[in-house]
Amino acid sequence: MKTNKQNLPDKNGFYGDFGGKFVPETLMYALEQLETTYTKLKDNNEFKEKFYSDLSEFVGRPSPLYFAERLTKHYGTGSIWLKREDLNHTGAHKINNTIGQILLAKYMGKKRIIAETGAGQHGVATAAVAARLGLECHIYMGSEDVERQSLNVYRIKLLGAHVHAVNSGSATLKDALNEALRDWVTNVDNTYYIIGSVTGPHPYPMIVRDFNSVVGEELISQSKELFSAMPDAIVACVGGGSNAMGAFYPFISMNETRLIGVEAGGEGVETGEHAAPLNDGIPGVLHGALSYLMQDEKGQVKETKSVSAGLDYPGVGPEHSWLKDSGRAEYVAVSDDEALRAFHEVSELEGIIPALETAHAFAYLDILMKEYDSSANIIVNLSGRGDKDINTVAEIDGIKL
Amino acid sequence: MNRLTETLANLKQQNKKALVAYLVAGDPDIETTIDLMHLFVEAGVDAIEIGVPFTDPIAEGPVIQRAHDRALKNNISLKDIYSMVEIFRNKDSSTPLILMGYLNTFMFHKKIIEENKNSAIDSILVVDIPGELNLNDYGIKSSSINTISLISPTTKQDRIESIAKNSSGFVYYVTLRGVTGASNLDSNEISNNVNEIKKHASVPTLAGFGIKSASDASLLSKHSDGIIIGSSIVQMIEQNSVTKEFDRIREYITEIKQAIS
Ligand SMILES: Cc1ncc(COP(=O)(O)O)c(C=O)c1O
C-alpha cells in the first residue's frame, strides 16, 4: 500500500485519482496565491509559534483524551477514549483550522472573510476568529439549516458577522458552498474564503487537514501517556471529513491503528435517502474537487438527507476517497435513528451531550465494540458539543421548549 | 471543417464581429428551446451556446441559475440535449453549436460526447476546468469537437499564453470578476487583456459575461472578435416562458447585431 503521507497531494493537488482544482478560471490565480503563501509559511517558525499559541490561548488546546468509564462498561469490551474537541472554544473542531486560515488571510492582506456553514459550527468559528482581527465577515448558510441551527445563527450574528440565507437548490450545505464560491469569484481581490472542511479545490483539502492534524498529533502523545500504545481504532464522523482527517492523518503510516469514518445513513443507505457518498456514491466533480459524490442516473448531484446539518452533504473530501480506495481507512454509515439513540445514550452515560454529527460516530460503537476484547483501546473523536442540536432533538422527541 | 472554426474565419475575412447567444437547454421546455434556437439564427446570431443544466452551477448568477432549475424540473439530461440537437439539425445544418456546462456532466456522459452523432456539436466549453486543460485530459476523446478555454481578468500573464494556445474554437474572455449576469465592466482592463490574448492566440477572442445593453456590446466588440450574450436573453425567456411570445428577443438580438456591425 502506498501510504507515505508525505507524498500527498501531488503537485496538481491529487490524492491518487481524487482531488484537483476544478473551478472557474477567475479563481485559479487566487488558489495559486493561497498555495504559494501556505507553502512559504507552513514551516516558518514564527508562523507555527503564532498558530500553536493561538490554539492554546484562544481555543484552549490541547483537548483532553478522556476515559469514558460508563460507556466502556456499557459495552463490556475494550476501553473507550474520547478526544474532547467539544471542549474547544466555540464548541467543535472547526476552530482549529479557522485559527490557521485567518492567519493566512491576515498575511495575504485580505480584508474580507467569507465562509459556508452547515451545522453553523464552522460559521461560529469563522466569525469568532474574524472578530478577533476586526475583519468583515460573511457566512453563507442554507435556509433549511438557518432554521434547524437557529442558535448558531444568532451566535454568528452576536460575533458581528453577516448571515446570508441561501434558498437555491436543496437550501443546505452544498448550496451554501455554491453561493460562497460565487461571492469569491466576484470579490476575489479583497476576500479570503475560509472553507470549513477538507473539501473544495486544492490547496484547501491539504490546508484544512494540516491545521486540524493538531488533533491526531495530540492523540499520538496522549495515547502513549495514557495507555502506552497506539489505539486499535479511531472512529470519527464524516461530513466533508475535516474532523476525521485531522484525527486520521498522523496515523496513516501506522497500520496497527484502524481508521473508521462514519457517514450519515439518513433513512438507511439502502433507501437512497442519506448523505453517505463513500458508501453509496460514484466519483464525480463538485465544488472544485473530484471525489465520491452522490449522483442520480443523469449525472446530477442528488439531494441528501440527514438529521445532522453538518453531515448533510453529497460530497466528501478527496483524501477520504483515496483512503477508501487504497483500503487504509474504512467507511461505514449509521442511520438517523441510530445516531439519535447514541445521542441520548452518551448524554446519560457520560454527562456529555454530543453534537448530532458526533453521535453518528458513537452509534457505530454498537457494531465495533463486538469485535474487540478488553485489551483494546478505541478512540472516538468527539468532534463537537450538542447544544446547537437541542431544538432539533426536542422536536423529534415531541417536546416543546 | 468544424462549423465554428469556419464561421469565425469567414466573419474575420469579412471584417465582421461574431455574435454568440446563450440559452439553457430545456428552459422552459425542449420544443421551445428548439424554436428559440431557430429564432436566434433568423435574428442574426452566428453561433449558439447551449447551457447544459446542472444542479450546482457555481459560475452562474441568479438569472441563469433559475433557468438551470427550470430545465432540471423537466429532467433534462445531456442525452436529451443530443436528441434535441438532432431535431434542430434537420432544419439547420450550418449554425455552430457549443455546449457550455460543468465537468461532472461531461464526465458522466463521456460516451455520448465521444460519439457526437453526425458531428452535430461543434465545441464544448467546460466552465470549471483550468484553461490549460481540455476534455482530452479527462479521458474524453473526440476529434470532431473543439475546446473553448476561458481567460479572466485575474489570469496571470504566463498562463494567458498557455491557455490561448490550448484553445481551439475561440478564446472566451470573461469580462469581469463575477458570475454570469453581473455588471461591473471595466473597458480599460478588457482592452488590455484582450490585446495580450491576441498576441498568443491563433483563434479569435470573444468577450462575454455582463454584456447587457447595445452600448456594452458596441464597446466590447471594438476590443474583441465578437461577443457572447447570456443573462439578458435568458431573462427574456423567463419573462415570456408562459406566453412563449419571443418577439422581444428577436428585436433585442437585431439591436445588438446592429451595435456590433
Ligand atoms: C461537531 C461537528 N462534527 C462534524 C462535522 C462535520 O464536518 P467534518 O466532516 O468536516 O468534520 C461538523 C460540521 O458542521 C460539526 O459541527
- How confident is the model over B79-114, as pLDDT tens digits? 999 999 999 999 999 999 999 999 999 999 999 999
Summarize pLDDT for A365-399 with one digit per residue, the tens: 999 999 999 999 999 999 999 999 999 999 999 99
Distances (CA, A) of A342 to A72, A258, A337, A359: 14, 21, 9, 6
| Helix, strand, or coil (residue A166) | strand
pLDDT of B238 above 80: yes
pLDDT of B18 above 90: yes
Per DSSP bridges, beta strands A191-193 and A233-237 are: unpaired
Chain centroid to Cα B15, Å, comes to 21
A299/B154 Cβ within 8 A: no
Q: Which residues in A have their CB inside 8 Å of a CB on B?
A: 21-30, 32, 168-169, 174-175, 178, 181-182, 185-189, 284-288, 293, 295, 298-301
Residue B146 lies in a domain: yes
Q: Which of B214, B215, B200, B152 is nearest to B178 (CA)?
A: B152
Work out the percent of chain B whose per-residue pLDDT is above 90. Answer: 82
Nearest atom, ligand 1, residue A120 CA: 14
Distances (CA, A) of B157 to B130, B160, B164: 15, 5, 11
Q: Where is pLDDT greater, at B168 or B36?
A: B36
Residue B165 lies in a domain: yes
Range of the domain at B134: 3-254
Residue B60 is a catalytic residue: yes
Residue B259 lies in a domain: no
Q: Which of A57-61, A103-107, B151-155, B180-184 has the lowest mean pLDDT?
A: B180-184
Residues B135-139, mean pLDDT to the nearest whole number = 86
User: Nearest chain B Cα to A291, which residue?
Assistant: B104
pLDDT of residue B12: 95
Structural domains of chain A, ranges and CATH numbers in brackets: 14-55+94-208 (3.40.50.1100), 60-91+213-396 (3.40.50.1100)
pLDDT of residue A2: 36
Taking chain A, what is the end-to-end CA distance rounded to the nearest angstrom?
Answer: 52
What's the rounded Cα separation, in Å, for the pair A84 and A62? 9
Is residue A378 within 8 A of residue A79, CB to CB? The reply is yes
pLDDT of residue A176: 97
pLDDT of B176 above 90: no
pLDDT of B181 above 90: no
Summarize pLDDT for B36-81 with one digit per residue, the tens: 999 999 999 999 999 999 999 999 999 999 999 999 999 999 999 9
Summarize pLDDT for A64-87 with one digit per residue, the tens: 999 999 999 999 999 999 999 999
B159-B164-B170 Cα angle (round to 5): 145
How many domains does chain B contain in total? 1
Residues of chain A short of pLDDT 50, as ranges, are 1-4
Residue B226 lies in a domain: yes
Residue B203 lies in a domain: yes
Chain centroid to Cα A282, Å, comes to 21
Domain harbouring B235, CATH code:
3.20.20.70
Residue B261 lies in a domain: no
Considering only the beta carbons, identify the residue of A29, A186, A299 that sits closest to B182.
Answer: A186
Residue B194 lies in a domain: yes
Residue B260 lies in a domain: no
Residue count (chain A):
401
